[in-house]
Structure 1
Amino acid sequence: MSCPHLNLLDPDTYKDGIPHEHFAQLRNERPVYWQEDPITNVGYWVVSKYDDLQYISKHPEIFSSAARTALSNEMTDEEVAMQSMMILNMDPPDHLKYRRIVNKAFIPRVVEAKLTHIREMAKAIIDKVAQRGECEFVSEVAAELPLQVICELMGVAQEDRHMIFHNTNVMIGADDPDLSTSAEEGMAAAAEIYTYGYKILENHRANPGDNLVDMLVTGTVDGEQLTDDEFAQFFLMLLVAGNETTRTVTANGMKLLIEHPDQLQELVENPSLIPNAVEEFLRYEPAVMQFRRTVMHDVELGGQQMRKGDKVVMYYTSANRDEDYFSDPNRFDIHRSNAKEHRSFGIGEHFCLGSHLARLELNVMFEELIPRLRNPRFADKPNYMRSSFLNSMKTLHITFDPEPA
């Protein structure tokens, strides 16, 4: 097998894009593969197949999110303990107890009630760029809608939203020198949002309102309300998850449409195809490339013997192109009949809490921009984030036919 040395947790591995040929070879030859990591000296199992990813996700008693968190970077025991209050890093039964607190804010009926308001936001975002004939798509379009929606849900004041945008960028881009010069800077960005969460909590106690903050404040786990620290952790996680991932898929979707103008034209002529196109964006270019689990007792998977304590990294970007599930998986196709079977939102107990909201935002944004940003073209090469976690662009400069005044 070629390239066994390719360290998939090294951000530089992705400087020329996701190594899809390598993943295809892994799926075919060694779907569960042990990889050494000279950066951290902690080796890990690479899981590249759809079925194996599903099995791991559905068996948290074997593959834990809590033991060393769901994030692939190495942490001290103290850092792991600090992360333990985020539901991303919980196992049953704690995970479900905490998830119930906010779950009702994201059910389809509640999300769909916001449709008109979200569409108005999307139209206003497009209004700002449509007559110019050019924009930096990531910051001016893709980032705006998810940022506005989650900030509104969480009670973040308009004047503070740039701070949220900046700090979530720094947190997610901790491996990118353009965004964060050090891990310490990433931690400082998280601390600023964390501290801001306390301010939101104080404001809510003084002026209660019917929003997501109220659900967090009044919700209970085993009869007890969240502590201030638990509230701040929830606040941080929801802001990051509700902001970064939807923005990334919006930008990736725009890039794909520019690269496939014939399929873009089909969407112009037949907007009813947009929902399936969104699912294909999610399958073909998922925002999150991987999550981690820790083996809790010896187990065999994919013909490989895993030992208690082993690090396991599941690659969604590979599972979404598994030939056993998706025919001609490296072809972008808005008509793909099973595009919605992607695993970009995960599967099992950690299935994305905000998937309904993300889908709504993505559909609304593309329904609004496709008829108005006509004949889009690259003004410059997409500038990707240096990351082994997020499949994200920092900038995407585009031009298009200016909308008449």
Structure 2
Amino acid sequence: MTDLAVAGMEQRIPFDPYAYDFHEDPYPTYARLRADAPVYYNEAQDFWALARHGDVRSAFRDAVNLSNAWGVSMDPSSYGPDAHKSMSFLAMDDPKHMRIRKLVSKGFTPRRVNDLSERITALTDAHWEKCLEKGEFDYVADFAGLLPMDVVSELLGVPESDRAFLRRQSDLLLHREEGVLDIPEAAVYAYIELHKYYTALIAERRDNLGDDLVSALITAEIDDDETGEKTSLSEDEIVGFMVLMVVAGNETTTKLLANALYWAWRHPAELAKVISDVDLVPDWTEETLRYDNSTQMVLRRVAADVTYGDHTIPAGQRVLLLVGSANRDEDVFDDAASYQIGRDCSQALMSFGMGTHFCLGAHLARLEANIGLAAVARSITSVDIDIDNAVRVHSVNVRGFAELPVKVTVR
């Protein structure tokens, strides 16, 4: 990279997406990037990053020049033309992306999600009642980590006896050891285990079709735009989507539930709002999505030269869209650095992306969070977090807690 305007940016503003210190609190770094290097280049790791809301928004909408086809992760082993094998249509461009999305949407319908509402409530009540009986517990292990996996498993028809195993593999897929700048061996084996499990599940379901999502994916058909003939999902495409569901449909919601409780605890006046008025819980969800979203950044590959600010980013380069930074942009959100349940940020929220790749599971994530957090709000008068023993997840893309010891006072 010869552009003098970008030379040495990483020395002036250190930004390493793999650094544990960054994972602990990325927001000071984001603030410096927005102010001093909104279009950032890291020469050592050879990536660009967009920090301001307007640029992130534009990048999400530009599916022509900014490609998903090599995946959305910085990890070298998962970045390349085969990324779709583990990331499904998240790592595809149109028309391949739209074909898979249409087929998946045949099974993953709003009606199917809404029909889960009563079941989500029942699962929430079962897990949360056990927590309340204990009084002191790990909010992630005993609640936030159980509910989303149960919901995804209910959709896919996964037996209860297998869910703990799938959650362990999901955790291993995300975790990164400090100083390791690629997919660790444990994550590779976790992917293999998930692939084997879901391949067997699909085979079993082909012989015993039901009303679950896997059966719907097996039988889904659409008309091919080019040939006019019917097209369906291959087995690898179904497995890819199921693995994506475990990560995108499970881990991110787990982090959302825990981040919400953590920030409400950090801001007692905000916690008091939802405890006194449970109708404000959806606002609690939305402000957490803005203030400390589970998904902090996603990657794009430059398909054709693009210009942001004073910088032209050449084709072939990698660009991080800093979702966490965009959601804290002071030019878009008043008093952006404060946690305020009840603010209206719906039109500006970047947490689920925008455009062609807007998150297919956004409605389900909100539904789970709203039901789960409502159970919390209506049942307690206070919460205390043992922050000295809390453990954060260390991942390039996802931010949240692996362990969150809490003590609650029941109403």
Per the alignment, do residues 113 and 65 of structure 1 end up closer, same or farther by CA in structure 2, a change over 3 Å counting?
A: same
* 2:53 pairs with 1:46: no
CA contact (8 A) 1:107 1:356 kept: no
Following TM superposition, by how much is the alpha carbon of 1:148 offset from its aligned partner in structure 2, in angstroms? 0.4
Residue identity opposite 1:241 in structure 2: A
Per the alignment, do residues 335 and 61 of structure 1 end up closer, same or farther by CA in structure 2, a change over 3 Å counting?
A: same
Residue identity opposite 2:362 in structure 1: S
**Sequence identity (%):** 29
CA contact (8 A) 1:136 1:395 kept: yes
Following TM superposition, by how much is the alpha carbon of 1:319 offset from its aligned partner in structure 2, in angstroms? 0.3
Following TM superposition, by how much is the alpha carbon of 1:116 offset from its aligned partner in structure 2, in angstroms? 1.6
1:217-366 equivalences in 2 (<5 Å) = 217-220=218-221, 222=224, 223-338=230-345, 341-366=348-373
Choose which of 378, 382, 395 in structure 1 pairs with 2:385: 378
Per the alignment, do residues 340 and 104 of structure 1 end up closer, same or farther by CA in structure 2, a change over 3 Å counting?
A: farther
* 2:65 pairs with 1:58: no
Partner of residue 3, structure 2 = none
Following TM superposition, by how much is the alpha carbon of 1:104 offset from its aligned partner in structure 2, in angstroms? 4.4
Partner of residue 123, structure 1 = 125
Partner of residue 188, structure 1 = 189
Residue identity opposite 1:165 in structure 2: R
Following TM superposition, by how much is the alpha carbon of 1:339 offset from its aligned partner in structure 2, in angstroms? 5.1
Per the alignment, do residues 262 and 254 of structure 1 end up closer, same or farther by CA in structure 2, a change over 3 Å counting?
A: same
Alpha-carbon distance in structure 2 between the residues aligned to 1:2 and 1:236: 34
Write the deviation string for residues 28-84 of structure 1: whole angstroms up to 9, x where unpaired. Answer: 2221111123xxxx4111100111111111111100110x2111221378x642535
1:18-167 equivalences in 2 (<5 Å) = 18=26, 20-37=27-44, 42-66=45-69, 68-75=70-77, 80-81=81-82, 83-84=84-85, 86-167=88-169
Where does the alignment leave 5 or more consecutive residues of structure 1 unmatched?
none
Residue identity opposite 2:164 in structure 1: H
Alpha-carbon distance in structure 1 between the residues aligned to 2:233 and 2:94: 18
Following TM superposition, by how much is the alpha carbon of 1:373 offset from its aligned partner in structure 2, in angstroms? 3.3
Where does the alignment leave 5 or more consecutive residues of structure 2 unmatched?
1-8, 225-229
CA contact (8 A) 1:280 1:339 kept: no
Alpha-carbon distance in structure 2 between the residues aligned to 1:143 and 1:365: 11
Following TM superposition, by how much is the alpha carbon of 1:182 offset from its aligned partner in structure 2, in angstroms? 6.8
TM-score (norm 2): 0.90
Partner of residue 200, structure 2 = 199
Per the alignment, do residues 400 and 30 of structure 1 end up closer, same or farther by CA in structure 2, a change over 3 Å counting?
A: same
Alpha-carbon distance in structure 1 between the residues aligned to 2:91 and 2:156: 21
Alpha-carbon distance in structure 1 between the residues aligned to 2:77 and 2:183: 15
Alpha-carbon distance in structure 2 between the residues aligned to 1:287 and 1:270: 25
Write the deviation string for residues 353-399 of structure 1: whole angstroms up to 9, x where unpaired. Answer: 11111100000001111122331101243211222221121100001
* 2:371 pairs with 1:395: no
Partner of residue 5, structure 2 = none
Partner of residue 209, structure 1 = 210
CA contact (8 A) 2:74 2:299 kept: yes
Please tell me the root mean square deviation across aligned C-alpha atoms, in Å: 2.1
Write the deviation string for residues 303-339 of structure 1: whole angstroms up to 9, x where unpaired. Answer: 2111110110010000001111101111000021225
